[in-house]
Amino acid sequence: MRREITFTLNNEEVTVEVEPKWTLLYLLREVLGLTGTKEGCGYGECGACTVIIDGKAVNSCIYPVLEAEGKNIITIEGLAKDGELDPLQKAFIEKGAVQCGFCTPGMIMSAKALLDENPNPSEDDIKEAIEGNLCRCTGYVMIIDAIKSVASGR
Amino acid sequence: MRSFEYYKPNSLEEAIKIMAGLENAKFIAGGTDIMVQLRQKKISPQHLVSLRNISELHKIETEDGLNIGSLVTHDDIDKNEYIKKYYSALTDATSRLGSKQIRNVATIGGNICNAAPSADTACPLLVFDAKAVIIGTKGERTVDLSEFFLGPGKTVLEKDEILKEFSMPRLKENTGSAYIKHTRREAMDLPILGVATRITISLNKDSQIRCRDLLCTVDSISNILMQLKDEGLKCEEARIAMGVVAPTPMRAKKAEEALAGKIISIELFEEVGEIAANEAQPRDSIRGEAWYRKEMIKILVKRALMKSIDRIIRPDEEIYPERLW
Amino acid sequence: MENLKVVGKKIPKLDAPLKATGAAQYIQDIKLPGMLYGKILYSKYPHAKILKIDTSKAERLPGVKAVVTAKDMPPNFRIGFMKDNPPLKSGKVLSIRDEIAAVAATSQEIAEEAISLIEVEYEELPGIFDPLEAMKEGAPILHEEAKSNVLKLPWRLVCGDVEKAKQESAFIAEDTFSTQWVTHCCLGTSGCIALFDMQNNLTMYSNTQIPSLAQNDFVEALNAFGLKNRRVRIIQAVIGGGFGSKLDTYAYEYIAILLALKTKKPVKIVFTREEEFFATSPRQCTITKISQGCDKEGRLTFREVEMILDNGAYTSWGATTPSVMMLPISSLYKVPNVKYTAKCVYTNNTYCQAMRGYGNPQATFAIESNLDQLAEKAGIDPLELRKINANEPGEITPQRFKITSCGMKECIEEVAKRLNWKEKRGKDKGRGVGMASLIHVGGGARVYKSDGCGTIIKMDDFGKVDVFTGASDIGQGSDTVIAQIVAEVLGIPIEDVNVINNDTEVCPWDVGVHASRTTFVAGNAALGAANRIRQQILDAASKILEEEPSNLDIKDSIIFSTKNPEKSIPLGKALRRIHYTTGGKMLMAEYFYDPANENFDREFKGNLSVSYAYGAHGVEVEVDKETGKVKILNYIAAHDVGKAINPLLLEGQIYGGGLQGIGYALGEKMVYRNGRLMNGNFLDYKIPTVKDVPPIQPVIVETEEKEGPFGAKGIGEPGLVPTAPAIANAIYDAIGVRIKDLPITPEKVLAAIKAKEGEKKI
């Protein structure tokens, strides 16, 4: 039986009817058309589906949709403000942290959650924040550089 | 996936009442295990009763020992300075469980009720003599965690019962603990096996200073222990728990007895490791071979004990990451 | 080289903004009106007779628009280079990934339910999961038409006289090595959308790395379906990782085509992560027997290699990896006498295809591990042995490769220096250093009859450029490299270059993104086209400026006379004048670059590539002797790349390749039991996480390859070729045990340590 939920999505209030068995990822991609968040595995094992819920990085592919009620959710589409890219997005582009790009949205969201909570993270903090985001292309080094460059810049 | 109904009660009474009226229903906490099992079609409940919005399950109380509500997330435990300082083995476990995304959502209650032999929080809770406080239609009861697990994926919980919180007694002075998770890669991994220890030692002030100097060196465990032996540090009490070497997380009770009252030395640790290894029944699985797990028990017991003692003697200092404990 | 403005600079990847904002459209993201979802039913057993397939319940499920089995496919239609693989199976199944049936339905969920309603009756047959078993007398023949489990393939290379060389060797080392199945683990899973138009022309939205060859494969398929003379258009979605996994066409693509034909609607098939693990083709596993010899001074005398390859149930590119393995076997270091034979054997296991390195990592593991063993026998430091035998520019190898630029010595020396080889070698206290080198094709590879790539350049009215290239971008940055080359030649900012590379309807032919050829071949094609259109521009501008074309140059989008810079005209203005007039001219250039390399002759000899890439990796490890865990303390990856057109992207290839190599060496393994994959998920198949990255130092050695665009050679694959032997050699230096079978796990190391201690006691 469908139920209605209301939550804040990328700074706008959204009300939508959902099936209880949907995951948050399904709602975002298939119903709301926000395909920036990716499904890499469906089991919470790769981080490609990472979004930020109430300030914390979460795997949306295993997040029950009804728990989104009342939450503040940010996806990759919500980062750019007034056409201006978020510093993290700019850094990823400039530092060569993007190759095939499939892991990139999730990776950026994990980094964003970190920097919002801790604007001055150590390299270990950065690694901890993105340990749940798998990347097969870049070898991670330039990703760490990108996040570091934003951290020190702030 | 079959459709299901999803309930979000705001109190324990409401949750118990809803569950009592349902067939083919499961409680769900953070969901990181259940959502995976649903997708794998290992379970197909018609109802899920979420415990997330029950505020009393999210508490951490530290006035008398340690009480952790079952819906406390691993991230919340990670960030708790009191737990990190006094119940260090638990933070060792929560900080290495899954990934940051998982830790933000997964709960300690969920980790225990899922009852995998590899549940990271089980071994630390066991060495802290944790009791599981359970509530159901028949009221409240308390079960020793060492009796909570019945087998892989099975616990003593009845269908209508909710694990409310874990309660652990206050720790004696000069007590330290550690949990070592032996993995293949450095993040997002299940343990090949895991060992937690808690040890209380007798220690006088002069001894403490000399031991502190010793532990500030980067020497090997055997060399340090050889020198520590001269200090005559005595083990008053110890607990050893092991994961993934038996159908459920288990205490190495014989090994604990062998430690109690003895003077700390490398020979003692090796003997205790042997005993613990013999108490275990490791299996071959795609995640690890039995012979290797057995060997590692000996090594990890030694290292976890060493780390626990280091934390007693140098409570405010970092454990060196490049050291073997 | 003179002042380059764009080439040689760290330019961010052109499509990175699209990807960093979530706007890039991968196959997962594409939805077409009326689209149906396809799903495949796979075999229940690795070896069985199919007695009956009942699809009636699935057909009756509301929302199901088509259910297909083998009877819906043309009867003798086979795919794969040996044409032994029917996209839908009948009669018999030979592996757990055999496709039995497929459905198309209005939603993913209905498609999944329909699959569960298809009833199949099997008669299970005993399976063969070991190629050695499959080769034995009396073993059941898996492909009756083939009459033998050993494939009829000609893999045999003989150079010089190995037997004689053996007699004349002062030292010989011999051993057996084996490598495992590992898989690409692209974060974006495989998928396609097939749709027909009213005339039955096919459009495929695809992840392929080989659009032109795939086009060919699908034309053949349409012919088999009775649809002759139809067009096939391939539109590539943004590709979520390749690494060789999309170098062949898969059964699921033909199944999607069949479903689209039947339903007259677009049909999308996208793999789940489980399917990506068990139903795509992994890296070829190998069992290698090798012996090498040298004279008293350490000069290599011979190399003899015998390999057995588990070919699995059907044949894809894995069976051709020997043709690439010949490269290091004949030409890594100077070895005058070489013999190599390889047998590919059918089993009921999964079957393999291309994966970054295409056999080179497997062969180099054996060669470089064994070389260290030879060094030990000869009493020569392994570093010295490598220097003594290092390849040199101008050399012609036994396989008749003409070595042009060669930075092997420099790479080896860089590694030795940065690792502090002399200090750290031979301590045997749990820490050690090891190294290994590599040779790979760097200037294209004439694997097919053509090694070519086409480029078309079109100027617009404003001085901006559209570059249509046949080369696909799979994340490595070919789009950016091509744009840099064009921008450099035309004197315009890189922002004004638009690269179109994903539609066979407009893009010229290219043989594919493989063999690390794209920068070299597509780069040269872009360079050729850019030079041509530059000439056209200058010729036309010469009339406007009344100046000889040879005195004209373009900088910052302004055409000017070098003799009199005041005589100038903005590029856009000039372009408008050129065509927006009576008798106007359109400016467009094309160039098809097919490198001057050779196909192998019947003896597998010939100059396969125009230039060769070299490199050396060195590792310092620390082994925890109590647990067997190996920690990498320092990793040096030195690569001779000719010229770094884009150092940012190039380093990305070295880091990415290096980490894949580390996973290959230390932890990745597809675990099969009786033909079934036991660890087809990201938890149990462990690719490195960010916390597993050791300190890596990429070292770029530039040898300025004359034939390469601006001197560049390939780098896509070399990054993981020498990783495993470098690590294995370092472990031997650290604790005196050699692991000869990948991956190097803590269990293997600990068992070897204990065995060695056991020997000591005796």
3-state secondary structure string across B165-196: EEEECCCCCCEEEEEEEECCCCCCCCCCEEEE
Among C12, C26, C185, the residue with its CB nearest the CB of A96 is: C12
User: How many beta-carbon pairs under 8 angstroms link B with C?
Assistant: 42
- C166-215, pLDDT tens digit by residue? 999 999 999 999 999 999 999 999 999 999 999 999 999 999 999 999 99
- Give the C-alpha separation, B287 to B297, whole Å: 16
Q: Which residues of B touch A37 (CB under 8 A)?
A: none
Query: Which of A141, A145, A147 to mutate to test binding with chain C, by most C CBs within 10 Å of its CB?
Result: A141
Q: What is the mean pLDDT of each run of 10 residues along chain C (762 residues)?
A: 86 96 97 98 97 97 98 95 95 97 97 98 97 94 92 96 97 98 98 97 96 96 96 96 94 98 98 98 98 97 98 97 97 97 97 96 98 98 97 96 96 97 89 97 94 95 94 93 97 96 95 93 96 95 93 95 93 92 90 95 95 97 96 97 95 97 97 96 97 97 94 93 98 96 98 90 57
- Give the C-alpha separation, A146 to A121, whole Å: 13
Residue type, position C178, single letter: S
Question: Which chains have 3+ CB pairs within 8 A of B?
Answer: A, C
Q: Kindly identify which residue of chain C lies nearest to residue A29, measuring between CA atoms.
A: C29
Q: What is the mean pLDDT of each run of 10 residues along chain B (325 residues)?
A: 92 96 96 96 96 96 96 97 96 96 98 96 98 96 97 95 97 95 95 97 82 79 81 93 97 97 93 97 94 97 94 79 60
The burial class, CB within 10 Å (0-12 / 13-18 / 19+), for C387 is middle
Domain extents in chain A: 3-77, 87-151
3-class DSSP assignment, residue B289? coil
Question: Which chains have 3+ CB pairs within 8 A of C?
Answer: A, B
Q: Is B1 on the interface with C (CB under 8 A)?
A: yes
Q: Which residues of C touch B187 (CB under 8 A)?
A: 689-692
The answer to whether the beta carbons of residues C191 and C207 sit under 8 Å apart is: yes
Say how far residue B265 (Cα) sits from the centre of its chain: 25
Q: Which residues of B touch A58 (CB under 8 A)?
A: 101, 104-105
**Contact (CB<8Å) B102/A59:** yes
Q: Is C496 on the interface with A (CB under 8 A)?
A: no
For the CA atoms of C345, C347, C351, C355, the dihedral, rounded to the nearest 10 degrees, stands at -50
Beta strand pairing call for C36-42 and C267-270: parallel
Check residue B320 and give its pLDDT. 64
**Contact (CB<8Å) C746/B286:** no
Write out the DSSP string of C39-102. EEEEPSSSSEEEEEEE-HHHHHSTTEEEEE-GGGS-TT--BTTTT-B-SS--SEE-STT-EEEE
Write out the DSSP string of C525-549. HHHHHHHHHHHHHHHHHHHHHTS-G
Which of the 8 DSSP states describes residue C510?
Answer: B
Q: Which residue is associated with the tokens 């499959």?
A: C134
- A113's enclosing H/E stretch is helix A104-117
The burial class, CB within 10 Å (0-12 / 13-18 / 19+), for C590 is middle
Q: CB count, 10 Å around CB of C440?
A: 31
Average pLDDT over residues A53-68: 98
Check residue C162 and give its pLDDT. 97
Q: Which residues of B touch C686 (CB under 8 A)?
A: 184-185, 189
ipTM: 0.97
Check residue C574 and give its pLDDT. 94
Q: Which residues of A touch C22 (CB under 8 A)?
A: 34-37, 75-77, 105
Check residue C407 and give its pLDDT. 96
**Contact (CB<8Å) B187/C667:** no
Residue A42 φ then ψ, to 5°: 80, 5
- C451-502, pLDDT tens digit by residue? 999 999 999 989 999 999 999 999 999 999 999 999 999 999 999 999 999 9
Q: Which residue is associated with the tokens 């096939």?
A: C232
- Please identify, in words, the CATH class of the domain defined by A3-77: alpha beta
The burial class, CB within 10 Å (0-12 / 13-18 / 19+), for A32 is middle
The burial class, CB within 10 Å (0-12 / 13-18 / 19+), for A2 is exposed
CATH superfamily of A87-151: [2Fe-2S]-binding domain (1.10.150.120)
- C212-264, pLDDT tens digit by residue? 999 999 999 999 999 999 999 999 999 999 999 999 999 999 999 999 999 99
Q: Which residue is associated with the tokens 């053996």?
A: C166
Q: How far is C316 from chain B (nearest CA, A)?
A: 28
Sheet containing strand B47-50, edge to edge, reads B5-7, B47-50, B25-28
Q: Which residues of B touch A56 (CB under 8 A)?
A: 75, 104-105
